[in-house]
Every structure is written in structure tokens, then in C-alpha cells.
Amino acid sequence: MQRGEYGQARDRCVASLALAEAVDDVLVQARALNGVGYCLARLGDYAQALDYCERSVALYRKAGDEREETDVLDSLGLIHHKLGDHASAAASYRQAIEILRRYGDRFNEAITLDHLGDNLDAAGDRAGAKRVWTEAVSILTDLGREEAQAVRAKLD
């Protein structure tokens, strides 16, 4: 996934899902489902991606692992954004941000704020996008992360 090879990554996640189902490991199943869904979204198959990610979030909730759930909430935000459902995307991103704040995961909070900003901007809420991008830049700068530059460019 990190190299952008989403077809190959999807196939590996499908294989991981089969193994996790064989040993009935709910958390690994949830991770694999999210992986498949995210890859499908990056490949443009949003309807199928949504199905995988909704199954993933249900398993995370069944297992009670809300921290890990934030990864799939971010994926759901991306999928809804690409489908043009900006309200659902924003709700997914905001839910992930709330959880990340409780866990003190500032880096992933900032990345998700950036994604929320992209969604708000696409929905026509430029002021809202600027607010969350400004917050993301502040966090990333505090953390000394180079990702701050890319988000800062969106503000310009």
C-alpha cells in the first residue's frame, strides 16, 4: 500500500483475511477487511470498498477496539468523500478524530484533520477546511513532521 501498488496489496489483504477467518481471529479479520476496502477505494471500486469497510468497523466494534477502529473510519471517510457523500465522510473523519484525541495520537489526529479539510473543501466549506488544516499544521509542526508543508500549501 505504501508504494501505491493497490492491486497487489488488495490480493495480500484478501489472503490475510482468509487466514484470519480460518483461525477465527476477529481483530486480524477487521484489519484485513479494512485493507481490502482501502485498496478497493484507491482502485476506484467504492461500492465494494464500502462493503468491506462497513464489515471491518462492525468487527472492531464487536471486539471493542476503538483505537484500531480509527483506521477504518478514515477509510470510510475517503470512500464517502469519493462517492460525493460529504456529510457521511465528515462524520467518519470527526468520529476518528474524537477517538484519536482520547488516545493522544496527535500525528494520526493531524492526518485525519487534513483528510477532513479536503472533504470540507470539496463540499464547498472553504472556511471549515482552513480551520481544520490550520489545526493539522499546528500539530504537525509541533511534532516536527515534514507533512506540515503539504498541508500548509493547501492554506495558501
Q: What is the pTM of this model?
A: 0.93
Smallest CA-to-CA distance from 139 within 148, 130, 152, 131 is with: 148
Cα separation, 110 vs 142, whole angstroms: 11
What ranges do the domains of the chain cover?
Answer: 6-151
- 20: how many CB neighbours lie within 10 A of its CB? 19
Which tens digit of pLDDT belongs to each residue from 28-45? 999 999 999 999 999 999
Class of domain 6-151: mainly alpha
Smallest CA-to-CA distance from 155 within 140, 53, 77 is with: 140
Cα separation, 76 vs 49, whole angstroms: 9
Which tens digit of pLDDT belongs to each residue from 44-62? 999 999 999 999 999 999 9
